[in-house]
Amino acid sequence: MMRSLIFVFFCMVTVFSQTPASAELPKDFRPTEEVLIPGGEFLMGKPDGKAGYLQHTVRVNSFHMDKHEVTNAQYQAFCQATDRSLPIFWDLERFRSGPGFPDHPVVGVSNGDAKAYAQWVGRRLPTEAEWEFAARGGLQGKKYDTGDDLPDSNANTKAAKLGGPVAVASFRPNAYGLHDMVGNVREWVSDYYSDDYFAESPTDNPTGPEKGRQRVIKGGGWFSGSGCNRVHVRNALAGSWGDFNVGFRCVRDAEKSNE
């Protein structure tokens, strides 16, 4: 119980590999549908941002990304197939976790748990740069994927007063066809966290520092205010921790596609 309490964060509620699935997936299991994110160049970070938010030019290759966050049902199938422990908040209705909420995003998973699931389905976690590029939905220099304003009806943020995660894809997608890149739950990415990384990161396909004490989490969520749901926002958690406002989604290199 004490461990659960330390996960109560407000605005600050926080590896890169393409690994084949470790085992044959169950016959009735359906991985999340993906969309192709066309590669390109964008300004990552916050305009006039300093330290960890320093704006800089980044280019990413094309990749496929899950249309929505990994669900409780999908993650439960993974745990059953691999004998992995269920998330720490499992069966807690307060966080809409467990089999009673099959289409809600899984929460309470560590970065290692998320990475293991991604490998199981033959995918990986996105880099921070990939995540932010996709979250912007093709918009440059905007706070949200809707522009500089975020109507309460467009995302599951604290302002929406929904009291917890909602079923994935309950809100409209961004221009790339991705749901809940703003709102619902924060999401793990593969990068280690460093406040100074943006000042020294490479322009092409940055993957984060080589080591660190924490992993990056991106986006906001149901427990985050509108300001904390801006697409450039980055926070961090110890990679071994789970949080009631943090889930994840997966990506796959475009060149790995069979299409």
Overall size of the chain counted in residues: 259
Rounded to whole angstroms, the Cα distance separating 215 from 49 reads: 21
* H-state helical runs in the chain: 2-5, 72-82, 111-120, 128-135
Is 144 domain-assigned?
yes
Is 25 domain-assigned?
no
What does each C-alpha distance from 191 to 22, 94, 127, 250 come to in angstroms? 22, 29, 6, 14
Is 24 domain-assigned?
no
pLDDT in tens, the chain (259 residues): 333 333 333 343 333 333 344 458 999 999 999 999 999 999 999 988 888 999 999 999 999 999 999 999 999 999 999 999 999 999 999 999 999 999 999 999 999 999 999 999 999 999 999 999 999 999 999 999 989 998 877 899 999 999 999 999 999 999 999 999 999 999 999 999 999 999 999 999 999 999 999 999 999 999 999 889 999 999 999 999 999 999 999 999 997 444 4
Q: Number of folded domains in the chain?
A: 1
* 235 closest CA partner among 45, 12, 46: 12
Is 258 domain-assigned?
no
Is 179 domain-assigned?
yes
Structural domain including 194 reads 2-13+36-253
Is 18 domain-assigned?
no
- Return the CATH number at 197: 3.90.1580.10
**Type of residue at 163:** G
Question: Which residues, 6 or more positions from 233, have their beta carbon under 8 angstroms from its beta carbon?
Answer: 218, 219, 220, 227
Is 106 domain-assigned?
yes
Is 0.85 topped by the overall pTM? yes
* 203 closest CA partner among 126, 255, 129, 138: 129
